[in-house]
Structure 1
């Protein structure tokens, strides 16, 4: 029932802040041993928890002028969180990544390199996490790579990779497209149908994953990014166009059809109250006009050098919306399920319904909107005043830019294709038949590009089949390993041994986490009884080792400065289970003066679980935003080193200690002769060498 875990740490360094993500998956050697048929043909199972994420502001791009401060003033809080969560003995095998996106892309190259260098130095000086190469683990990633990671994450969570038949959309297609929009840029990633992929092969990336049985999973994916097409950058361009067209000399007011009627703001979106001579945007609440004025921002008039193009003259292969069903995250989710959502909403995006809500909201006066108590809070008020422009921009990008059909208005089926029969059973049951659907979480797991990166890394740890030795990663769409191939960064050297006691320690920790969130004491009592019985069925030496590891968990969870009631309270029990020597040994270590002891280099099972230098308590699946979550029901069904050495005291004398209880009684008064030369010790059949654990 146990698992041996692998861990991964990745920091998403965005423009507004840096977010820590911690992921965990089963070691391939252990997973292969217990895997079912379905699991053997699936990608490694990645797990996360909400408390394994943490975000701090602002972004690391703000340290461009003083990169030496990025560690202590920014990264330290996130590093401490990771050290608390991940077991000490796992740190050396845990990769750490920091990947920066839009904000860092705007910095000059010299500032980028300075921040990246300081970040890597800080990680190496303050952690033992696996960081062999700064250039691959700490970097500013292109928007196309960000989009590809997002595509992996979405299809991983939806089940498009592991259940092709259940997610068949027709034409032998079973993956989903991915759309992402932030404040500065927007990304698109999708796998074209077979015909388009053949015609536009040079435009595609070849992505190679690996299922648990070692077989490759290959996909040809198109990915692109539009810089300046995030909502904030689009708003700046929109306001500049309004001012250039409507500002009259001597005046300071400019009409803004994308603001609710009566709302007055500055160019930066700050609400203006009272009279002012500064430039003001005055809301007129005309959403139709708002739509008309956002359309030119798409850049549809920019020359297209390589047909076809979508936005800003950038080439994108033809999209077959019969089989390419897109998942939109970030602003696509917030703009459709934020201000305009209510309790009666279905999770699916419906153009007609959405547009009616937007028209009704954006035609209201700002005073009426303010009456809503939710807008009195700063964040909600900001969302309300920006909602109309964001809705207009989203509609323009989706339907006029990318070309996603308006569900219920435009025909989406190819002749002779019955979508109700062409899709797989999972799609028919779950209802994800539309060309677009916004999402934030799937089964309580956030759709984040960081997950895609970690899926790629975990897949690289799986041993390949003999006939399939090509590496995991992505690059140009050519056979073999192209020159620009980006490896997953991992290898498939499995751990040499699997210790079941690790499994029990992990299981115990998970149960403690569950008990904290479960108010049913009867259930918790049942679990404790079950573990107690199973504990006694194990061999005595294993019980001893397991107790040390379980006690380590409790010590990590105890708040700093709190008494050691747990360890001392179990004294009588541990005396009966393990003997007096085990208890006395632990008590000396906990209560004695550490300066009284000088131990040589030894290796023991308990040593593998020593406390971290941080001294912080260890924390115990979802990293989601505080927005309504979307269940999968809305989609398709988706070393140890033995070094006995000699123990030396400070004077260089050999110190030999041994528990009197382990010696044969006759030997207690055997004189002061060297024990090593004792024939009794060497020949007595009742004596055995002390085993090294």
Structure 2
């Protein structure tokens, strides 16, 4: 049986009211959303110029900050093509050119209206530290070329600098504790709170040229040269930190091989860390090009070296231990190796370890693994009881672990916060949308009630 004309009219009226109400609500919500969009979002670009490669990171945060420090998130990570900028010592212009691809990605992500107010910084680490020691003039040329290339971009270039090892370690500590929510958290009540000091974790960074350890010790730091202090989110943090140049993965492998060459009577070297059956040749000259390699070089560096693997883990560990000076810390409870002061490790640690590059060989895996084990147990002093507190990660919470985010967090404390008028606009926009929705709903209900009474007549 078909609907009567009154029932059809009632249905049409209800449909029109619903469509009208929904359309109006959408329009108001769109307007409110436009107000809610963080138009005051700020951006920052940081280049991490490491020994083996360069990475670019884009970070973003709202101008309205928590206790003078921005709440920062990672918006982009890009690995530049080619090796680290220290590899372009003989052709510095290529160092700047190698960064352009990632920079273009960053500029495409950041709104053009934000370009001029976006700070950009390049920090160079272990590879450039070694080049500065070997040839300071070449290092300056590389920095000049990189600065010239980056200064031509539309963003605010803040400079290219050599990052001190202590800063690299300390800023890495800031990064990992931030991404784990241990520096600041957003509570259910809508307030930012600082977690307890005892929950902070330590940071271990094992790069290609250097390695860093940073943590909050259980007592006072007796050597102030190993102390770094930060004030973030209204709280001051004091950490122990030290960087060991020449103890990164790549430099360790070079030092290990050079030591075996020195103890071999010929240019045929039997390598205990390489797997049995391996045989390869390599040029001698590049092996002795690093300041980290202190072993005496053969007279004729133009020759090639033949390396055979023997697959002997015991001999491999013995050769690796020879890279450390453990005896300098005998009888000292606050010493790591090479006479370096270090309090006993404490708490949980996160490790960012350098993985083999695209040209990495299976032959190096055994040496790398045993080296990390030796460094952690005999060098830094981890034990069977504390080993369970170590986690190996490249990311945490979707954010890359390294010094760059820590640098940006520290940088945001230097950027003034804007007036919080936009938050009042946001609240107003949401309030208006809610009121309109309520009015429309009541109107529709009232209209439906009137029509129902009319149909009864």
TM-score by length of 1: 0.48
Residue number in structure 1 paired with 2:37: 2
Select 1:204's aligned residue among 222, 227, 234. Answer: 227
Residue 391 of structure 1, CA deviation: 0.8
Residue number in structure 1 paired with 2:128: 104
Distance 1:226 1:292 in 2: 20
Distance 2:94 2:211 in 1: 30
Distance 1:49 1:153 in 2: 15
Residue number in structure 2 paired with 1:487: none
Residue number in structure 1 paired with 2:402: 448
Does 1:46 find its partner at 2:63? no
Residue 326 of structure 1, CA deviation: 1.3
Does 1:113 find its partner at 2:140? yes
Residue 226 of structure 1, CA deviation: 0.8
Residue number in structure 2 paired with 1:11: 47
Report the 3-state secondary structure (helix = DSSP H, G, I; strand = E; otherwise coil) of the residue aligned with 1:297: coil
More strand as a share of residues: 2
Q: State how 1:159-170 maps to structure 2 within 5 Å.
A: 159-162=181-184
Distance 1:187 1:230 in 2: 9
Residue number in structure 1 paired with 2:105: 81
Q: State how 1:55-204 maps to structure 2 within 5 Å.
A: 55-71=80-96, 73-105=97-129, 106-107=131-132, 108-127=135-154, 129-131=155-157, 134=158, 137-162=159-184, 173-193=198-218, 195-197=219-221, 199-200=222-223, 203-204=226-227
Residue 16 of structure 1, CA deviation: 2.3
Distance 2:377 2:283 in 1: 28
Deviation readout 1:251-296 (Å, 9 max, x if unpaired): x533222111111123579xxxxxxx95322222221221122112
Identify if the C-alpha distance between structure 1 residues 65 and 384 changes in structure 2 by more than 3 Å, giving closer, same or farther. closer
Select 1:248's aligned residue among 230, 244, 265. Answer: 265
Residue number in structure 2 paired with 1:257: 272
Select 2:344's aligned residue among 287, 303, 319. Answer: 319
Contact 1:43–1:162, Cα closer than 8 Å, also in 2: no
Report the 3-state secondary structure (helix = DSSP H, G, I; strand = E; otherwise coil) of the residue aligned with 1:152: helix
Distance 2:421 2:150 in 1: 28
Residue 17 of structure 1, CA deviation: 2.5
Residue 328 of structure 1, CA deviation: 0.7
Residue 499 of structure 1, CA deviation: 9.8
Contact 2:48–2:123, Cα closer than 8 Å, also in 1: yes
Residue number in structure 2 paired with 1:27: 63
Deviation readout 1:149-176 (Å, 9 max, x if unpaired): 11110111112212699976xxx62211
Residue number in structure 1 paired with 2:368: 390
TM-score by length of 2: 0.71
Distance 2:315 2:61 in 1: 51
Contact 2:88–2:142, Cα closer than 8 Å, also in 1: yes
List runs of 5+ in structure 1 lacking aligned partners: 32-39, 270-276, 336-377, 413-432, 461-489, 504-533, 538-693
Report the 3-state secondary structure (helix = DSSP H, G, I; strand = E; otherwise coil) of the residue aligned with 1:20: strand
Report the 3-state secondary structure (helix = DSSP H, G, I; strand = E; otherwise coil) of the residue aligned with 2:388: coil
Does 1:309 find its partner at 2:332? no
Deviation readout 1:454-474 (Å, 9 max, x if unpaired): 12122x0xxxxxxxxxxxxxx
Distance 1:501 1:165 in 2: 25
Contact 2:80–2:99, Cα closer than 8 Å, also in 1: no
Residue 41 of structure 1, CA deviation: 7.4
Report the 3-state secondary structure (helix = DSSP H, G, I; strand = E; otherwise coil) of the residue aligned with 2:327: coil
Larger deviation: 73-82 or 218-227? Answer: 73-82
Deviation readout 1:547-590 (Å, 9 max, x if unpaired): xxxxxxxxxxxxxxxxxxxxxxxxxxxxxxxxxxxxxxxxxxxx
Residue 309 of structure 1, CA deviation: 2.3
Residue 85 of structure 1, CA deviation: 1.0
Distance 2:141 2:45 in 1: 22
Does 1:266 find its partner at 2:301? no
Residue 496 of structure 1, CA deviation: 8.4
Contact 1:61–1:103, Cα closer than 8 Å, also in 2: yes
Contact 1:440–1:446, Cα closer than 8 Å, also in 2: yes
Contact 2:256–2:323, Cα closer than 8 Å, also in 1: yes
Residue number in structure 1 paired with 2:298: none
Residue number in structure 1 paired with 2:248: 230
Count, aligned residues: 368
Identify if the C-alpha distance between structure 1 residues 499 and 117 changes in structure 2 by more than 3 Å, giving closer, same or farther. farther
